[in-house]
Structure 1
């Protein structure tokens, strides 16, 4: 059928006349939908051999202006690296990727996020942290199901979620694994010196770790913390910082904790020092050595602070490294 110009003109005129008869509210095509500022549950699940891994977000951890976090680094180089990778040059933001490993026999939690145990101090990095428990429950995991909490170290964003504000255990049936060096250091009031954050970090570690003092497991380099989970001593960020190799059915992944905080700044410049390191020079040496190993072995990685969900690989690039995220299977994502 062919429509001539006269037929089209009559149809258009009829439509306009009909529209004029509609109420004004109907002619507005509906009001715009309101903005949604709520944050959806954030969890991601994948298989590692015979194990099931679930990454739980504790929320973003904003560092603010990056220069104070990298005090020995040239400010113009920091800005250049961030801009060159399409990141804001005046705001460094880290993720908090908490790992829950289901081995079929145990539920093992790696680190705990900021939690709510220290009141206002629990929000020292802003209101976007402390979401682990809500996201864990959204992923179908209850805190009383956790058998073992494995800590990479005893900083606030890794152990302050062990207890609630009243000091009660959040994971009532769990043991807690930590290096003895970190346990001693972060519960010693004699170390309340140097940076201003040390007092709150030590007070928070004492409150959270003391609640599990009869359930502590001391982590040793090269030893299994649980079947298929082996400790790798990586000191520097803290005196007893530890990474963990997870192996099952020929598949492996390294949970790196705070080996490197930023996927651009501390991969492309692995020898840069970070202000929250207990021993910045040792931390840089450990980081460079471990990153070289991960890249050479083409080892899968779960990084606590890298972009969500922190699952990927490290590849050598010039004098540094680049982060290669693992493609997400969205049929498993929360």
Structure 2
């Protein structure tokens, strides 16, 4: 018969074993404190390089960042939803209620024959805070020389999409590139009569970055394949000439949607929600529904400029709207 005093629990047995190992490791019966470490590594104190690269058809895509762009209170930037409905959408998706922070995902396509940059970020403007303006740095981290860029394609002429074309000293950041944009947007955002005084920073940014490149500017048309494998699709409303781009290579398709939707929840779940920086909010919403419906039906992946890093995934129809599904990051080429 086993003496009850000899019974021990599994917890005590494991604890006793750990103490025995500790005594052996400490030598001469000494037990090393669990809180002490044999080596201490300093905090790194800086983030990983801000780029992501993957194979696409016959070429490759590199997504680099111009840095995060905090808009502030989402209730002030997105309209047409009740505060309660907006808060529910944000809470259900584990997003903060007080600050809508957007990414700036810049697509760089290497076709093997051409190197093409889609949109250029904020440049040196700090209108939305100090975290923007990283394009030149992140391109360097990605091993891409701006001198090798053949084409800069802009979805529209807003401050956070055309701002990195020119350096503050008046030199071109992409000295060997041609520039592509809709003529409607070029004309609108470089004219103070159409922009108006409330968006003077947008006017100044467009004039600084677009006007010096007028002799290198190519105006594409809706439906035009203006570069090999790249077709412009008009999506007006956010701006008068806002455009998305269908990219095809080696049997693969991808749509760079620019600012078709700024937020992966608030402008997809109820896509008729409006955004305060839209030139024509209702037209923008109709463009969003039309193009997202096409992309969802055809299961075409998207690269979204402002969605959570790196902004690559799919949209699918859900209820009266859509849902965004981020694609897994693939770290092998």
Q: Is the pair's TM-score, using the shorter chain for normalization, greater than 0.5?
A: yes
Aligned match for 1:70, one of 70, 75, 78: 78
Indicate if the aligned counterparts of 1:61 and 1:128 stay in contact, CA closer than 8 A.
yes
CA 1:290–1:15 in structure 2 vs 1: closer, same or farther (change >3 Å)?
A: closer
Residue-by-residue CA offset, 1:213-245 (whole Å, 9 max, x unaligned) = 110000110111201000000000000000000
Indicate if the aligned counterparts of 1:162 and 1:171 stay in contact, CA closer than 8 A.
yes
CA 1:123–1:12 in structure 2 vs 1: closer, same or farther (change >3 Å)?
A: closer
2:102 match: 94
Indicate if the aligned counterparts of 2:23 and 2:30 stay in contact, CA closer than 8 A.
no
Distance 2:251 2:190 in 1: 38
Distance 2:20 2:254 in 1: 69
2:245 match: 244
Distance 2:21 2:119 in 1: 67
Indicate if the aligned counterparts of 1:168 and 1:211 stay in contact, CA closer than 8 A.
no
Residue-by-residue CA offset, 1:174-205 (whole Å, 9 max, x unaligned) = 010000000000000112426x3x10001110
Cα distance, 1:12 vs structure 2: 7.2
1:140 correspondence with 2:151 = no
Aligned counterparts, 1:115-264, within 5 A? 115-116=123-124, 122-193=125-196, 196=198, 198-264=199-265
Secondary structure in structure 1 of the residue aligned to 2:274? coil
1:82 match: 90
1:119 match: none
Distance 1:83 1:21 in 2: 47
Aligned counterparts, 1:17-28, within 5 A? 18=28, 28=36
1:309 match: 310
- State the TM-score, normalizing by the size of structure 2: 0.89
Cα distance, 1:131 vs structure 2: 1.2
Aligned match for 1:103, one of 111, 114, 120: 111
Q: How many residues align?
A: 317
Secondary structure in structure 1 of the residue aligned to 2:260? coil
Secondary structure in structure 2 of the residue aligned to 1:88? coil
CA 1:11–1:49 in structure 2 vs 1: closer, same or farther (change >3 Å)?
A: closer
CA 1:18–1:283 in structure 2 vs 1: closer, same or farther (change >3 Å)?
A: same
Indicate if the aligned counterparts of 1:254 and 1:302 stay in contact, CA closer than 8 A.
yes
Secondary structure in structure 2 of the residue aligned to 1:246? strand
Range that drifts further, 176-185 or 123-132: 123-132
Unaligned runs of 5+ in 2: 1-12
Indicate if the aligned counterparts of 1:167 and 1:208 stay in contact, CA closer than 8 A.
no
Secondary structure in structure 2 of the residue aligned to 1:77? helix
CA 1:190–1:249 in structure 2 vs 1: closer, same or farther (change >3 Å)?
A: same
Cα distance, 1:21 vs structure 2: 11
Cα RMSD of the aligned pairs, angstroms, is 2.4
Cα distance, 1:57 vs structure 2: 1.2
Distance 1:211 1:291 in 2: 35
Distance 2:186 2:270 in 1: 30
Indicate if the aligned counterparts of 2:23 and 2:31 stay in contact, CA closer than 8 A.
no
